[in-house]
Amino acid sequence: MPEQSILVAAAVSIAIFIAAFYLLPGLLPDRSGARKKKILDRIHTESEAAAGRSLEDAQTSTLRDNMEPIYQLLRRIPGVENTYSLLVKAGLQHGFGKYLLGVLVLTGALMFVFNLFFEAGTGSIIVDIPLAIMLSRKYLHRRIEKRNDMFIDRFPDAVDMIVRSVRSGHPLNAALRMIAENTEPPISTEFRQVVDEIAYGRSQTEALIRLSNRIDQPDVSFFVVILGVQQETGGNLAEVLSNLSNILRKRKQMRLKIRALTSEGRMTAYILGSLPPLLVAVLHLVSPGYLIPLFHTLPGKFILGIAISMVLLAVWIVGKMIKIDI
């Protein structure tokens, strides 16, 4: 009987994991919004239509380069391609298998914690697997945000390199190659991919559109639009990019000013989030038996769940209050 119970628990775990991985990504909000599509509609109409391809085709083709075997096996499952898109934006396009392994390990760790503190048994699987997937996707979104911030901080210098190179008489492709060879990641990584795609036959416009898909930021979209329009209509590219560089630096100064003004709010969120677990740890050290009813009785578990939910809600609200888009 115990062996059968273990087999049933394992089968249920696998089924719930597959179901959660299948359904949950579609329920979570997609942060790549209509703003970027609206900005790139102009290039889509003039360039992609002429090439016989849609902007949507150019976006989804990003997900089909250098695919791992495990992704090729699972890519037809709804939600998997969305997850792989997040991995591409996080610079982890070759880490789909590691991501799945990390979700499984995190699920096991959550099961251990729930069984240790709440004696939940195999019933905690229903909560563990969706929670593990949500936490892993939260990690991906956080990694994407940090990577995009690093890219945007160094992007004005890269635009200045293009301006100096164009004024010196070099073609645009040579300027892009110079950025790929003389800058630090993630600037060098992304522009190296652009240069490689152009070298292997993609048009410059399409390669830049794919760059804006991976770095989903307005600054990059402005850059792509300027190069796309200049390629169609002509004009003084160095002068236009020089003006864009000045705008990007002013936007960077504004972001830094906003970050300084919202530092108090961030500290409030950190304190709100860290005080409850610290208090629980101190009470457990001072009086180990004091919190036993909170973890081992049904009313205690109910109250603990409400408390955790309220703390997370407070941190989320503070985070939304201090997040300002420019």
Judge whether residue 16 has pLDDT over 60: no
The per-residue pLDDT for range 253-312, each reduced to its tens digit, is 998 888 888 888 888 888 878 888 888 888 888 887 888 888 778 888 788 888 888 888
**Residue range(s) defining the domain that contains residue 241:** 148-254
172 and 193 fall within a common domain: yes
Amino acid in the structure at residue 5: S
Same structural domain, 227 and 266? no
Inform me whether the pLDDT recorded for 167 exceeds 50: yes
34 lies in some domain: no
Q: Which residues contact 199 (CB under 8 A, 6 or more apart)?
A: none
pLDDT of residue 27: 42
Number of helical H runs and strand E runs in the chain: 15, 0
Question: Does the pLDDT at position 326 exceed 80?
Answer: no
Residue 118 banded pLDDT, cuts 50, 70, 90: low
In degrees and rounded to multiples of 5, residue 223 shows phi and psi of -60, -45
Q: Give the model's confidence band at 117: pLDDT under 50 very low, under 70 low, under 90 confident, else very high.
A: low
C-alpha neighbours within 13 Å on the C-beta side of residue 319: 11
Taking the model in full, what pTM does it have?
Answer: 0.68
**In which element (H, E) is residue 169 found?**
none
Least confident of 34-48, 141-155, 259-273: 34-48
Of 254, 282, 298, which residue constitutes the final position of a domain?
Answer: 254
Q: Do residues 153 and 227 both lie within one domain?
A: yes
Same domain for 204 and 286:
no
For residues 309 and 248, state if they share a domain: no
Angle at 142 between CA 33 and CA 131, to 5 degrees: 95
Question: Is the model's pLDDT at 161 over the cut of 50?
Answer: yes
The tokens for 297 are: 């009785």
Residue 118 CA to residue 297 CA, distance in Å, equals 9
Residue 35 scores a pLDDT above 80: no
* Within-domain flag for 269: yes
Q: Which domain-ending residue is among 230, 254, 278?
A: 254
pLDDT band at 6 (very low <50, low <70, confident <90, very high): very low
Residue 63 DSSP one-character state: G
pLDDT, residue 216, reads 85
**Token pair 């991995």 is at which residue?**
87
Does residue 61 register a pLDDT over 70? no
The domain total for the chain is: 2
The whole-number average pLDDT for the span 147-169 is 90
- CATH number of 167's domain: 1.20.81.30
List phi, psi (to 5°) of 68: -75, 155
- 296 in a structural domain: yes
Q: Which residues, including other chains, have CB under 8 Å from residue 105's CB and lie 6 or more apart?
A: none
292 shares its domain with 315? yes
Does the residue 13 lie in any domain? Answer: no
CB 276 within 8 A of CB 283: no
pLDDT of residue 123: 55
